[in-house]
Chains A and B, each alone.
Chain A
Amino acid sequence: MIKKGRGLASVFYPTGFNGGGDAETVSMRVKRDGCIDITNTISDLGQGLKMVTIQIAAETLGIGLENFTHDNTNTDTCSYSIGAAGSRSTYTVGNATIDAGKKLIELLKSYGAGMLHCDVSEVQYEKGKVFKESDPSQAVTLKDIGGDANPSGVPLIVAGGFRPPVAPYDPETGKGLPSRTVGWGATVADVEVDDETGIVKVENLYTCYDIGTVINRLSAQGQVDGGDIMGIGMALFEDLTPNYPESIDMQTSNYTDYIIPTFMDMPKHSEVQFHESYDPYGPYGAKGLGEMVNNTQPAAIVNAIYDAVGVLVESIPATPEKILRLLEEKGK
C-alpha cells in the first residue's frame, strides 16, 4: 500500500574555509575602449562564478555587464585564488572584486583629473564617468580614459584582495571562529512509500534558504535544483560500497550499479524561496550557497519516510531493502 509522509529538516551552513584565512585576489585592467578585463583563477565548475564576479564588478563601477570579461584560465596571467570549495567563491572573490573595483575608481579619478586639468580632490566618479564636482558637464568617460592612457603608456591596472580573518581554536574546548558568515535553510519533503516494495517517491520539496543577498537569481535557482538532485541521491540511492562496514570488496564502478537520480526521480513539485538577510561581511550582503543546498533534503526525506511508515532509516541511503527489513522487524 502507498503511504504518504511528510518530513522536515533545518540546517545552518558556514561560508568559506573552517577557521578562515582563505584569501582571494582579483585584478582589473582597463582597455583602450574602456572595457575591463577581470582575472581571478577560481574554477568555474558549473556554479557560474564568472557571471557573479562580473555582476559584482558592474555594480561597484556602475557600468553595464557587457563591459567586462573574466579570465580564469591559467596560473601565469590570472590572479591568485585558492579554489572553488567550501561555498566560498561568491563571498571571497566577490569581496576581492569590490576591493579591486574601489581601487580602480581611485585610479580612474586620478587619471581623469589629469585629463580635466584639475586636482583629484575636485572630481567625482559615477557610472563610468569622471567629472568635475563644480561643473559635471566637464567629464571624461571610461572610454576616453582608456583611449588616452593605453597609448600613452600609462597602465590602468589594479589588484584587490580579501582574506577572512584567521581564527585559531582552543583544542580543549573547540572555542574559535569557524566562520563569521553562515547560511540558514529548511526543507519540507513529502514522500510516498510503497510498504510492499519499499520504493520511495519524493513528491514535493519545499525549501527556503537564507544565502544573504542573492547575487544571481537564475544561478542560485540552478544550484538549488542541482542540490535537490544530489540530496535525493544521497537520501535514497547512492552507495559505493553497499556491504560496508563489513566489507568494501563489492564496490560499484558504473552507473548501472551506482544509482544516481534521473529527472524521473525529481519531485513532481519543487519550490525554493530565498530569505535574504543581509550579511555584514559578504559582498553586497551575500553568503555562500553551493553546499548548503544539498544539506536539507536527505534528512527531510528520511524523516518523511519515518512519518509515512513508522521506521527510521538510520543509515543512508534509504534503499527499498533497508525499508522492507525495518518494516519486517517492526511487524514482529
Chain B
Amino acid sequence: MLNYVGKSIPKYDVMGHVTGKTVYPSDVKMPGMLICKTLRSPYKRARIHSIDISEALKVKGVHAVITKDDVPYNKFAMYPDQDVLAEEMVRFKGQNIAAVAADDKATALEALSKIKLDIEELPAVVDPREAMKEGAPLVRPEGNRYLFDGKYPTRKIRKGNIEEGFAEADFIVEGSYRTTSQEHAPLETCSSLAYIDGTGRLVIHSKSQGLFFTQWDLANVFQIPLSKLKLVGGTIGGGFGGMLSIHTDHIAGLLALKTRRPVKFAFTREDEMLHSSVRNPWFFKYKDGIRKDGVITVRQVELIHDCGGYSEMGMYVLEKSVNYIAGPNKIKNVWVDGTLVYTNKMPSGAMRGFGVNVGQFAEQLQTEKLARTVGISPFDIRFVNSFKEGDLAHAQNPLVAVSGIEVLQKVAKMAGVELPEKYLAMSSKDSGEGGVRND
C-alpha cells in the first residue's frame, strides 16, 4: 500500500510561481550590471573577410567587444561543432559574429552598429532534399550529409525481409508527410547573468534545462576547471527542450571574464523566436504492405531530418525517430533509413517529443491510409497489429509492461465507441514473441 506515491499533491513551489515570488534566472539583477547584445549574420551562408571593432570600442559606455579571437575554445554544443562566435564561414542567418557589453541596451546597440563587417553573401541551401544533391552549396566543408559512426550515410533499421513482406501483401500503400519548424514558446525567454564572485570564480545564473550538462560544455569554451565555474538556476519558466541548447550562457560568461563586471544577456521575445533553437523540419516517406485481414506485412520508411547548419542534437533526435518510426505495431519486416542533412538554417535543437512525435504523426496518418485502403476501421487496424508483452520492438529489444491494447480499449470506452467482442477480449498479455498471434 502506497501512502505518498499516486496522490494528487500540489507542486512543492507552486505558490511561489503563482504569486510571483519564485525567482527565475531572468529575474536576477546585480549592481553595475552590463548589458550584452550580439551582432548576427544577416545572411544564411556567407564568408567573413574582416571584422573591425575599433569604432565600436570608442563608443562611451562600451566595456568590451569580442569576436572569435577572444574565445579560448571556440566550439560548443552536445556534439561540439558550433562556433561560439563565427569563424570565416557563416552557416545560418542569425549566427553570432561579435558581442558587446555596455552600460545599457541603447549603448550596446549603438556599438553593434559601429562594427564594420566585411561579409560576402554566398548561395545558400535551405531544403534538405536539395542539399543532398550533387553541386549543392556546401553547408559544411566535408559534405552536407552526416555520416553515422564515421561512415554510414543513414541510420538504419533492418528487420526481417522486405521483399517477402511485399510479396505477402494484398495492397501496397505509399505516403509522404512533412512537419515544419516549431518554436518552444516558453514563458521565460533565454537569459544569463554572469559575474566573477569574491573568490574569483565565474558564476552564471542560467536558464539551462541541465546545469551540469551546460557547465561541462562551458568550462571547455572558457578553458577553466569546473572548480572555477558555478552555474545557478534549476527552476525555470518553461523549457520544452529549448533550454538544452546554449544560447546566451557562453557569451555572457566570456564578457564577464573580459570585463570583470556582471553581464546580462537576455533574449527578447523576437530573439527567442528568431535565434533560439527550434524543432526543425522532417520529411517522411512510407511504403507499406498490408493483407486483406489488416495485418501489416512490411513497412519501409525513409526519413530526412533537416539539421540546420550545425549538429546540435540532430544525430540524437534522428536516432530516436528511427527507432520508433514504425509505430506501436508488431511488423515482421521493417526497413528504415534515416538521413541527417545540413542546411543553412538554425541548428536543430531538442523539442518535446525529440524526433519521435514528428515520426509518429506521420506514422499515424499512414496507418489511417492503410485502414481505408483495406476497408477496416481505425480501431481494427490498431488492434490487429498491436504489440504484445515480450514482443521485439523494431530495434529488436523486448518490450515490457506493454499496454497498446488496453489504452485502445479504454479510449474507445471514453469516446463511446462500441468495440467488437473480439477486441474487448484481447489483452497485451495474451501472447508475445514466440506465442500464438490472434491474426
Contacts and interface: CB of A to CB of B under 8 A. Distances in A.
A and B bind:
yes
Given A174-B336, A245-B126, A277-B402, A86 B354 contact: yes
B179 A43 contact: no
Given A171-B155, A210-B407, A245-B281, 11 more contacts: A43-B208, A43-B234, A45-B236, A59-B4, A86-B354, A206-B411, A213-B6, A218-B10, A253-B274, A299-B364, A300-B364
A82 B316 CA distance: 15
Interface of A: 6-14, 18-19, 41-46, 48, 50-51, 54-56, 58-59, 62, 65, 70, 72-76, 78, 80-86, 167, 169, 171-182, 184-188, 190, 204, 206-210, 212-219, 221, 230, 233-234, 238-242, 244-248, 251-255, 258, 260, 271, 273, 275, 277-281, 284, 286-287, 290-291, 294-295, 298-300, 302-303, 306, 312, 314-317
Interface of B: 2-14, 44, 126-130, 148-149, 152, 155-159, 175-183, 185-186, 208-213, 215, 226, 229-241, 243-244, 269-270, 273-274, 278, 281, 306, 316, 319-320, 322-324, 327-328, 336, 345, 350, 352-354, 356-357, 360-361, 363-365, 368-369, 378-379, 382, 387, 393-397, 399-404, 406-408, 410-412, 414-415, 417, 428
A12 B404 contact: yes
Contacts of B350: 85
Contacts of A76: 230
A80 B212 contact: yes
Contacts of A214: 6
Contact of B5 (A78, A215, A258): A215
Leading 6 A-B pairs by shortest Cβ distance = A83-B210, A299-B364, A174-B157, A72-B234, A218-B8, A240-B181
A175 B235 contact: no
Given A14-B320, A172-B156, A175-B396, A83 B209 contact: yes
A230 B324 CA distance: 21
Nearest to A216: B9
Nearest to B242: A45
B407 A174 contact: no
Nearest to B226: A75
Given A8-B382, A10-B408, A273-B410, A50 B11 contact: yes
B180 A244 contact: yes
Given A171-B152, A240-B182, A312-B365, A43 B13 contact: no
A10 B404 contact: yes
B210 A177 contact: no
Contacts of B394: 174
A251 to B, nearest CB: 6
Main secondary structure of the interface of B (DSSP, over half): mixed
A186 B182 contact: no
A242 B180 CA distance: 8
Given A41-B211, A210-B403, A216-B9, A11 B180 contact: no
27 contacts: A8-B368, A10-B328, A11-B327, A12-B404, A41-B234, A44-B235, A50-B13, A59-B2, A59-B4, A62-B3, A74-B233, A76-B230, A81-B210, A174-B394, A175-B395, A177-B397, A188-B412, A218-B10, A230-B352, A234-B357, A240-B180, A241-B180, A244-B281, A252-B273, A254-B270, A277-B428, A298-B357
Nearest to B386: A10
B244 A85 contact: yes
Contact of A174 (B156, B230, B410): B156
Contacts of A12: 324, 327-328, 387, 404
A272 B160 CA distance: 37
